[in-house]
Amino acid sequence: MSFELFSNLVGAFFTLCIFSFLYKDNPFYQAAEQMLVGISLGYGLVYTYNRVFVPYVWQTIIIKHQFVLIIPAIMGMLYLLRFSRKLGWLSRYPIAFSMMGVGMGVPMGIHASILVQMRQAMVPIETVNLFLIFVGTIAVLLYFFFSKAHTGIYGKFVGIGKWYMMIGFGASFGLTVMARISLLIGRIQFLVNDVVINGFLK
């Protein structure tokens, strides 16, 4: 047995372990599920150590002698006190440091989510599609405006927003399903082509 076939068989075994859940919950699925969490966590830890800790903490402090970075490193360690009843409050310091970024979120959020979207919506209405987009955007926004009762002509206009959202949700659902289906096709192609045809039947 070649090493490639062995590797593919391992992948196929775990693929089938996960697929076995389609029949019912079983020990193979449970074991594979926990292994997925364990390996993902180990992968994240090793990568964080190699790509973040070594270059930005270890090398910067020990090799480049930027000893001031001992302060944020100690502050980072305070995260671990989150589980201590007496010293848990110290973990608020690294959390507060990371929450500072919220300040950047205000102007950036206004720019990206509000101003850019508004600029794109306020173009000259030259085609039917542009008119439909403009009406839809206003109707969807008004649908979430609860200070005025959704009754009468206003209620009917707001109702158009609901129709627009239903079409949008349907389109998103369709795209998501197709993405999952393509993943499923990929797994079946792996089992059929890589394991059965190129592995056993070759």
Partner 1 sequence: MKKTIPLLIVIVGGLIWVVWAFSPHYVLQEVFYNQFYLPWAYASAPFAMLLGVLSLTLMHSNKIKRRAPKWQYSYFFFASFVITCLAGFIGGIQKGGLFMWMFENVQMPMSATMFSLLAFYMASAAYKAFRARSPEATVLLVAAIVVMLAQVPLGVKLSKHLPTISQWILDVPNLASKRGIMLGVGLGSVATSLKILLGIERSYLGGD
Minimal distance, residue 146 CB to partner 1, in Å: 12
Should residue 17 be labelled a site residue for partner 1 when binding is judged by CB under 8 A? yes
Q: How far is CA 1 from CA 9, 113, 191, 198, in A?
A: 10, 55, 17, 12
Minimal distance, residue 81 CB to partner 1, in Å: 10
Q: Which of 91, 97, 59 lies closest to 77, judged by CA?
A: 91
Find the binding residues for partner 1 in span 28-87 (CB under 8 A): 30-50, 52-53, 56-57, 60, 66, 69, 71-73, 75-80, 82-83
Of positions 59, 84, 118, 122, contacts partner 1 by CB under 8 A: 118
Cα separation of the two ends of the chain = 12
**CB-based contact 81:91 (threshold 8 Å):** yes
Token code pair at residue 122: 């306020």
Q: Which run of H or of E encompasses 11?
A: helix 3-19
Cβ-based nearer residue to partner 1, 2 or 129: 129
How many angstroms separate the CA atoms of 133 and 153, rounded?
A: 20
Of positions 59, 84, 112, 155, contacts partner 1 by CB under 8 A: 112
Find the binding residues for partner 1 in span 143-202 (CB under 8 A): 143-144, 161-178, 180-181, 183-184, 186-187, 190
Cβ-based nearer residue to partner 1, 89 or 154: 89
Q: Which of 142, 141, 167, 166 lies closest to 150, judged by CA?
A: 142
Find the binding residues for partner 1 in span 125-144 (CB under 8 A): 129, 132-141, 143-144
Of positions 5, 21, 150, 196, contacts partner 1 by CB under 8 A: 21
